[in-house]
Each structure stands twice: as structure tokens, then as C-alpha cells.
Structure 1
Amino acid sequence: MEAQHLHAKPHAEGEWSSGFCDCSSDCPNFCMAFWCPCITFGQVADIVDQGSTSCGTAGALYALITAITGCGCIYSCFYRKKMRAQYNIRGDDCGDCLKHFFCEPCALTQQYRELKHRGFDMSLGWAGNVERQNQGGVAMGAPVFQGGMNR
């Protein structure tokens, strides 16, 4: 099983599991993405990059780009593209950038929801999700058969 599909749940191939404007179903995360998008972006980037970029590093870089340019979406729209490629979700580069430019909180919240839908615990990050998966795999062994042969 590929690491990027550790927790994949079935849904319509090529589609997001929730709509772009379904933020009302995830109000706490939308508020976090609105007031401090670097945190939500960092969590998304950690999972999408499969742990090669930590949540803290991605969030700090996002905050730095935002402080310098006023537009962190320059960075975050590339992660939307990367996520679409990983999960075979339809879309295009122009649409990704426009979504992030005009409504960054909605775009980040949709990506966050998508990863949650695929079974990731966003508070654990990539390493924590892998560890959780491995512990589940170790605990689930072959059933123990007790008793002898009976007729």
C-alpha cells in the first residue's frame, strides 16, 4: 500500500469530497484558516508532502511569504495542485490559483476537509498518522486458533 493512500476512503473518482463553499460544515477550521491560515496550511502541507516538510516549516514559510508579499496564496496554490495530483482530483492550475487568491480560507478549509475525509487525523501530522497506521497494523494479527481438531 502506498503511503499517500494510507487512509483513503472511497468517493467519486476525480471529485473533491466536499464543495469549495462548504465551509459552514467546518466552522472551527474555517475560522482558523481565516484568522491564522499559516496553521491550516502547515497541517495540509505536512500531509501532502508526506512529512518531508513539517507543519511548522510550511506554516512559517507561508507566514514569511505573506509578510513580504501580502499574498501567501502564492505558496498555497501549488499545494492544491500537488494534492489534486496525488488523489486524482479534477481541476487546473489556473483554477487552483484563483481559488486561493480570491478565497484563501475556503480553499485551505476544503483541502483540510479532503484530507480528513481520507482518514487523516490532521492534529497528528504525517508522522503521527503513519505511526497510528503502523500500530493498527501490528495490533491486527492473524486470529489465534485455540483447541484441537474436532469432529
Structure 2
Amino acid sequence: MSSKLVIRQPQPVMDSRDSEEWGSGICDCCDDVPECCFAFWCCPCFACITTKAYGQCLCLPLLDIFGAIPPITMSMRVSMRQRYGIKGTMCRDCVYATCCTSCTWCQMSREMKRRKIPIVLVSAKNT
């Protein structure tokens, strides 16, 4: 009996089902007031929860504490733009991550809820 080892897994394709713009602006906190309040008063907790919902490590945003520019916030924003096909620049992502951290996390959370694209983790196995 022989087994076949799959060396190359098919890569998931993310289709952008919506526009190439963010579903809400960086300061549209009134779209979800309780979420905005949570992000404002406890941004590290909110960022961790949002990161986990995005499919990344729960504690990843805590690394932002060590830099002048929050690298995780910026990376998550860039990743989300790429995943959902949203136009933008890394310069703008850097400015928002540095100057408007709570608003940035709120905007990303709203975008995830709006797009509702499930995260699918694929594991390799012998066939």
C-alpha cells in the first residue's frame, strides 16, 4: 500500500465581494458606539479580540507597546486591505496606526463584520 504526499496545497483565493474602499471611515465610531467605547477605554483588549477574530494570535497586538509606530496595528491594517482588496497606501496605514490607534482597530472590526468572509484554515494530510 502506498500513500501519496501532497507537496503543494491549493491556495485559497479571496474574492473582494464589495467595493475597493473601506466600508466606513476612520472616524465613523457612531456606527457602533459600544464597540468604539470599548476600543477607546481598553484598546489593548479590543485589539487582541479583533486580532483573534481575524485569525491571528490573540496576544499579537501587545507587541505594539515596544515601538513608536505600532507595527502590529499597521500590519493588520495592511493585511486587511490586501485580503479584502481595499485601496490605500502604507503611508496612510502608518499615520492611522500611529495617530488613531483605537479608531483604526474599530474600523478594522467594522470591516470584518461587514465583509463576513470566513477564515478557513487548511491542514495538510496524507491521501
Query: How high is the TM-score relative to the length of structure 1?
Result: 0.61
Q: 1:45 aligns with which of 38, 48, 51?
A: 51
2:64–2:73 Cα contact (<8 Å) kept: no
**Inter-CA distance 36–72: structure 2 relative to 1 (3 Å threshold):** farther
Larger radius of gyration: 1
- CA deviations 1:20-62 (Å, max 9, x no partner) are 11111111111111122122222332344xx3x332x22xxx3
1:32–1:40 Cα contact (<8 Å) kept: yes
Distance in 1 between the 2:117 and 2:34 partners? 17
| Root mean square deviation, CA, Å | 2.8
Distance in 2 between the 1:120 and 1:78 partners? 19
Q: 2:110 is aligned with what amino acid?
A: R
What's the % identity of the aligned pairs? Answer: 29
2:63–2:72 Cα contact (<8 Å) kept: no
Matched with 2:3 is none
Query: How high is the TM-score relative to the length of structure 2?
Result: 0.70
- CA deviations 1:101-125 (Å, max 9, x no partner) are 111111110000000001269xxxx
Q: 1:100 is aligned with what amino acid?
A: A
Distance in 2 between the 1:118 and 1:45 partners? 16
Ranked by relative contact order (alpha carbons within 8 Å, sequence separation 6 or more), the top structure is 2
Q: What SS class does the counterpart of residue 89 from structure 1 fall into?
A: coil
2:81–2:88 Cα contact (<8 Å) kept: yes
Matched with 1:117 is 114
**How many residue pairs get matched?**
111
1:23–1:109 Cα contact (<8 Å) kept: yes
Q: 1:109 is aligned with what amino acid?
A: C
In proportion to residue count, which structure has more helix?
Answer: 1
Distance in 1 between the 2:70 and 2:36 partners? 16
Distance in 2 between the 1:80 and 1:19 partners? 13
Task: Give unmatched runs, 5+ long, in structure 1.
Answer: 131-151
Task: Give unmatched runs, 5+ long, in structure 2.
Answer: 1-11, 122-127
- CA deviations 1:57-108 (Å, max 9, x no partner) are 22xxx33542x45x57232111100110111101011100101111111111
Distance in 2 between the 1:88 and 1:65 partners? 25
2:69–2:94 Cα contact (<8 Å) kept: no
Q: What SS class does the counterpart of residue 20 from structure 2 fall into?
A: coil
